[in-house]
Amino acid sequence: MRPASTNLTFGNCRCFYYLCNMKLISGNIDKIQDLCRQHKVSRLFVFGSVLTDRFKKNSDIDLVVDFAEMDRYDYADNYFGLKESLEKLFKRNVDLLEEKAIKNPYLKQSIDSSKQLIYGC
């Protein structure tokens, strides 16, 4: 059974998240938003085990990011800066996929069917 969802609005940004298994996300939403703004993120989604009862204390967090347009020289700094900052914040590994880089249609469909927006302006 899927937990009930909650919608929150912060200024011009909307955050959607599931209450169950999401204390890591919901408890840090302000910090996540700050990191997203700092690293030029347009949208950030969560997917995978964190949205299910399979999420354990040693599970990683699966995220899909869509960056704002930026100079290609800034991309790596923003990608790795965001990934490292999120791992430090959550104190666990983060799998950070860039939305444009997901080419496998089966993987894309699987992710799209379960992902939840946690940051988007």
Q: Which domains does the chain have, with CATH numbers?
A: 5-120 (3.30.460.10)
Residue 79 has what DSSP assignment? H
Q: How does pLDDT run across 52-87, given as a tens digit for each residue?
A: 888 888 899 999 999 999 998 899 999 999 999 999
Q: What average pLDDT values come out for the chain (121 residues) when binned by 10 residues?
A: 42 42 82 97 94 86 96 94 97 95 95 93 60
Under 8 Å CB-to-CB from 50, ≥6 apart: which residues?
Answer: 21, 22, 24, 25, 59, 61, 62
d(CA 92, CA 55): 12
d(CA 69, CA 99): 13
Closest CA to 21 of 96, 116, 120, 85: 116
